[in-house]
Structure 1
């Protein structure tokens, strides 16, 4: 099947390709520092490389978009671009020397082990729900169509797709492994960025502990193995906050410019960044440093992100489709995402939000944050030093972003956008507890060690499940048939549909593994809204379109099941798949000749 890859050779090639993309992005970003007026010499060598990577990755994503809009997506062109980036000249290369204690080296080994396990996890075939529904499915469609465009009757194809451009690049240059490694990359980059921030403001040990707290977050580890966008959002939001607190190092204007560019990259990644971006802008405004930094922050953020929102506004009449339809002339619809997540939005639920999201992950989407943030972050208040601008900005940003997330959507994985900043607080708290000595030190280290071991076992278990397919001992067909609910259905369609035939899919949102030669129309809110506007019933639509096959489930709407059984179609195939806690019953109806 196109773009699907697995096995040791494919994994090795994908990892080498990732290194090439990373090096090209680093050179491109370093080249951009000088014309942007950012004084690289004022940054530490590590900070310079991290911000260069952030700029380079953003520029590469926008370049892929530009090529896609022009119908010029081609592996030769993209490899040429990456090779060309190698010859770009930036600031003189500087190396930073680190001196680690024995304990700090142990922390590095643990962190490296976690990154290795997460790398193995990312080498397996894709199974993530949103990845197969659109994060990977839409880049696949773009490549099959030869260009990037709006995909009719989809909710997401005009969303901010900066990270999806990296997935498009990955699919084109190698396949699914490289695409997933593009997101895995941000797991490590975010940890290094956390270390860098912690080291600058709170000391090297605090920086290492902060990075390890983040790496020990089960939700982040799970995300790193799939082609999602939450870790890239976390990276760019942290980079934006980091740049903002570097005002004393970079100066007013360069700091605001860099923070705005990083914020723009976050806005180009996900709508969810609108809240944190507005919070950073408000914090900058609150400092009353004049209009110029505020204007530069806004302008640079728009320069990077405006294209995503403008496309949606021009094509669909709503820059944040399908949200806020009432504001944008009815273009869109009310989203039900997050409506039934959490314990409510009253004051008591707000006060208990940190406790509840930690102790009741099943009520917040199932992702596990872990106890370290709740346990360690308050310890940062031990022996409070003189209030610093850095602490105030990071604390205010974290608090206000958590309030925003609580009011908008309480999915635990959405909190990944602010967890890196919170990890710094937790790492500083742990460092202070260790420095305090006595019973507090022993208790905190004991609990931290137990959590580290428990999460380590979870990570090993998760990785163990993919080793067979990653090593090539189990073929991809067998692995996906056992671990991914939609694969058997798509295999049936690929085997039984002829080129140009059509399918009405009212059973499954995951479409990545579907046949490339068939026309698949998925039931969903965009289709239903379109039919309502035209005054056409779903039954009339099905009768008129005369689909060659219907993919339904036992839980499909009764009118669709009634249509399938009323005549003209015969059930040709069925299968069930258990994905805890649910069991899916799929039914396939074939049109009678």
Structure 2
């Protein structure tokens, strides 16, 4: 046997020894269990499902964007605007499928597969363009680190089972009920189900394909899209050097990361409103550059795009009407200027006026058409296109004057006190009066730059980008509308509702930040001083966000060390325990009325939530006595009642006059038999009614 053969045999034996030692060691001392592999695999599948839908949306949206305005947008704009456009169109498609009863897994996979094939050619073209694309404005390394850390922390929360209030109340509950029925159904007494539901349709599709975590990730996807759109807005309309400062200011708002981890619709709403304004600014930019012809195909196509985005925004919240109004006014102002110049030179004034007004008319028509499905749905389902609002004009199922007054809470706002109104930006930033503190934290940077923004707006009228006026007008309109809300009702004091305006303020503040060296003197560098303050703020924001994420403690669930039930019990406490006990202990045919608890997502039986905490006061207003309320419950098939004691105590503390404790006590004494109690917070009763009176009337 020669030396070479001996060497190969020796090497082979050593390799076998390596496999034997490592295999035997880790077979006994396992580094992870099967449950860990399953958990990590589930995380990856949730990510892949969301990425799949976003990629399809990018392909389809980019195709439509190129058809509308092929020569207007670069690759970055195509990716950001195209993805948002595609997600919106996907939501409208899902709505149509839900109406015809195609909410079934097989339909979801077949249709999504077909959409994948349709999107693939455009995705390939984008990939080819991306290979030769050069990024000319890289961020500072510290900016990359900050954005990566904040984004990762938000993603960790987005990968967890849903625990957010509105998600469990209606954003996920409505899709869940529709999927159980196999179609979109009416006749459910939750007014929020009649709100514009574009995001809920995206949630429903993701839940069909994968589950509720994939649905949450679709809302998370709007965070990078929104950051990209803020970057593009600052770069295209203000200055290239203001682009990354604008993104940093946006990302300094803690509410952005919080909302990204929840199944809400606020990030999508802010994106579509800013996208509508972005396209309108492109339209106005063409006019400034000399392409003034109102009937040019390019300008009309951009107006159509702006209108589509405005219509998609109106498919998310009723409050989004501010954007089409503002954008419409900007387009109308341009049309009036065009008309004025045309009338001085033309011999056909009527024709010239019509041509000048065509962009405005086209914008209004397309925006209304894109938004119309949600309002037509409400008209057919409830008789009120903006249900439950404007009840006096349209009426509406399940609604009456009592509920109208209860929901409006008119007169409970801050009123017209000048001192309070002047202090609104400060109060908003501190969050001390916010109805929902955690989802409305703006951070200090926007307030820090606000005096500078006002100063630049007032004193730099000539030496500033033309688009700044439109951005200021849009931001001011959003703030004015929000201010009217907080003047009217305390329920509307939610900083989250001002997010579209704050997002528009970010590029303005970023531009002001980039211009601060103008204020430097040889003795004092004000810009450097501000930079130090910003860096300190960002560092504290990272610490704060990290500690809050650690409090949530996502890693045990994500790595399989904690089950879904254990995680939800840890996070939701008595609420989730009560829902689980309802699901396991009560008969399948049970109908449970909730009192002072609006969340029913984790209830698998026929649970009827107290959506605006008015169920009991409304019953008292309608029927006055416990006996009459009991008869009504009997007539509608109620078998059990859940009372959320903490919710009741909250209402008693805030509005004690609205609760008739005598009627409640009579109901409990005569008609409700205790079934179980969860930590004193939730009590479930069996409803007893027979022969028109209480079973215990003679006790």
Q: Does the TM-score normalized on the shorter chain lie above 0.5?
A: yes
Q: Equivalent residue for 2:548?
A: 462
Contact conserved, 1:539 with 1:559, CA < 8 A, in 2? no
**Shift in Å at residue 423 of structure 1?**
0.7
Deviation at 1:533, TM superposition (A): 11
Corresponding residue for 1:503? Answer: 592
Counting only pairs closer than 5 Å after superposition, residues 200-215 of structure 1 correspond to structure 2 as 200-215=236-251
Counterpart check, 1:97 vs 2:168: no
Match of 1:547 in 2: 638
In structure 2, the partner of 1:588 is 684
CA distance in 2, matches of 1:91, 1:9: 27
Does 1:309 find its partner at 2:375? yes
Say yes or no: does 1:521 pair with 2:624: no
**1:335-346 correspondence to structure 2 within 5 Å:** 336=407, 343-346=414-417
> In the alignment, does 2:68 pair up with 1:46?
no
Is structure 2 residue 444 aligned with structure 1 residue 414?
no
- Cα offsets for 1:161-187 (capped at 9, x unmatched): 001111111111111211110111111
Partner of 1:580: none
Contact 1:150 1:158 in 2 (8 A): no
Distance (whole Å) between structure 2 residues aligned to residue 118 and residue 90 of structure 1? 27
Cα deviations by residue, 1:388-419 (Å, 9 ceiling, x for unpaired): 43111111010111001111233100011222
* SS of residue matched to 2:392: coil
- Structure 1 residues 335, 561: CA separation in 2 closer, same or farther (over 3 Å shift)? closer
Quote the Cα distance in structure 1 between the aligned partners of 2:617 and 2:110. 40
Q: CA deviation at 1:560?
A: 6.2
- Structure 2 residue corresponding to 1:389, chosen from 454, 466, 480: 466
1:320 aligns with 2:383: no
Do structure 1's residue 109 and structure 2's residue 109 form an aligned pair?
Answer: no
Q: Say whether residues 1:69 and 2:160 are aligned partners.
A: no
CA distance in 1, matches of 2:409, 2:310: 24
Higher-Rg member (1/2): 2
Match of 1:493 in 2: 582
Structure 2 residue 688 is the aligned partner of structure 1 residue 565: no
- Choose between structure 1 and 2: higher helix proportion: 2
User: Among residues 134, 148, 165, which one is paired with 2:201 in the alignment?
Assistant: 165
Q: Where do residues 255-404 of structure 1 align in structure 2 (5 Å cutoff)? A: 255-287=302-334, 288=336, 289=338, 290-329=356-395, 332=399, 333-334=404-405, 336=407, 343-366=414-437, 367-380=440-453, 381-382=455-456, 384=460, 386-404=463-481
Distance (whole Å) between structure 2 residues aligned to residue 305 and residue 355 of structure 1: 35
In 2: Cα distance, 1:338 partner to 1:414 partner: 17
Render the CA deviation track for 1:185-234: whole Å, top value 9, x for unaligned. Answer: 11111001111111122333311111121112111111111000111000
Separation in 2 of the partners of 1:324 and 1:532? 24
Contact 1:40–1:48 under 8 Å retained in 2: no
Structure 1: give runs of 5+ residues left out of the alignment: 1-5, 577-583
After the TM superposition, which of the residue ranges 409-418 and 236-245 deviates more from structure 2? 409-418
For 2:217 and 2:409, the matched residues in 1 are separated by 28
Cα shift at 1:285: 1.6
Deviation (angstroms), 1:357: 0.5
Summarize deviations over 1:269-306 as a string: whole Å, max 9, x none. 11110123222212222232421111111111112110
Tell me which residue corresponds to 2:529. 443
Partner Cα separation in structure 2 for residue 53 and residue 26 of structure 1 = 4
Which of 550, 572, 581 is the matching residue for 1:484? 572
Is the aligned partner of 1:13 residue 2:56?
no
| Aligned equivalents of 2:464, 2:136: Cα separation in 1 | 29
What is the match of residue 23 of structure 2? none
CA distance in 2, matches of 1:173, 1:243: 33
Q: Distance in 2 between matches of 1:240 and 1:119?
A: 27
Q: Could you say what secondary structure the match of 2:300 adopts?
A: helix
Q: Which residue of 1 aligns with 2:511?
A: 428
Indicate conservation of the 8 Å contact 1:206/1:431, yes or no: yes
**In the TM superposition, what is the alpha-carbon distance from 1:462 to its structure 2 partner?**
2.3
CA contact (8 A) 1:323 1:335 kept: no
Using the alignment, how far apart are the partners of 1:390 and 1:296 within structure 2?
22
Identify which range, 388-397 or 565-574, moves more after superposition: 565-574
Distance 2:140 2:379 in 1: 50
**What's the CA shift for 1:334?**
3.5
Structure 2 CA distance for partners of 1:77 and 1:340, relative to 1, 3 Å: farther
Alignment pair present for 1:181 and 2:270: no
Which stretches in structure 2 are left out of the alignment for 5+ residues? 1-37, 287-296, 339-355, 486-491, 649-658, 689-694
* Count of residues in Structure 1 that have an aligned counterpart in Structure 2: 576
Once structures 1 and 2 are overlaid, which stretch shifts more, 291-300 or 48-57? 48-57
Supply the distance in 1 between the matched residues of 2:160 and 2:115 (Cα, whole angstroms).
26
Of 106, 110, 113, which aligns to 1:80?
113
Superposed CA deviations along residues 217-267 of structure 1, whole A, max 9, x for unmatched, are 111111111000111000001101111110134953223211111110100
User: Residues of 1 paired with 2:396 and 2:372: CA distance?
Assistant: 22
Q: Is the 8 A contact 1:20 1:82 kept in 2?
A: no
User: Which moves more between the two structures, 152-161 or 90-99?
Assistant: 90-99
- How has the CA–CA distance of structure 1 residues 507 and 363 changed in structure 2, closer, same or farther, with 3 Å as cutoff? closer
Q: Tell me the distance in 1 between the aligned counterparts of 2:62 and 2:406.
A: 41
Task: Kindly indicate whether the alpha-carbon contact (under 8 Å) linking 1:357 and 1:364 is maintained by their aligned counterparts in 2.
Answer: no
Distance in 2 (CA, whole Å) between partners of 1:81 and 1:529 is: 50
Measured in 2, the distance between the counterparts of 1:270 and 1:81 equals 30
Q: Distance in 2 between matches of 1:110 and 1:90?
A: 30
2:171 corresponds in structure 1 to: 135
Question: Is contact 1:153-1:527 (8 Å) kept?
Answer: no
How many Å apart are 1:151 and its aligned residue?
Answer: 4.2
| Cα distance in 2 between the residues matched to 1:391 and 1:446 | 26
Cα separation, partners in 2 of 1:443 and 1:25, compared to 1, 3 Å: same
Cα 1:45–1:507 shift into 2, 3 Å: same
- SS across alignment from 1:572: strand
> Is the contact made by 2:429 and 2:443 (CA closer than 8 Å) also made in structure 1?
yes
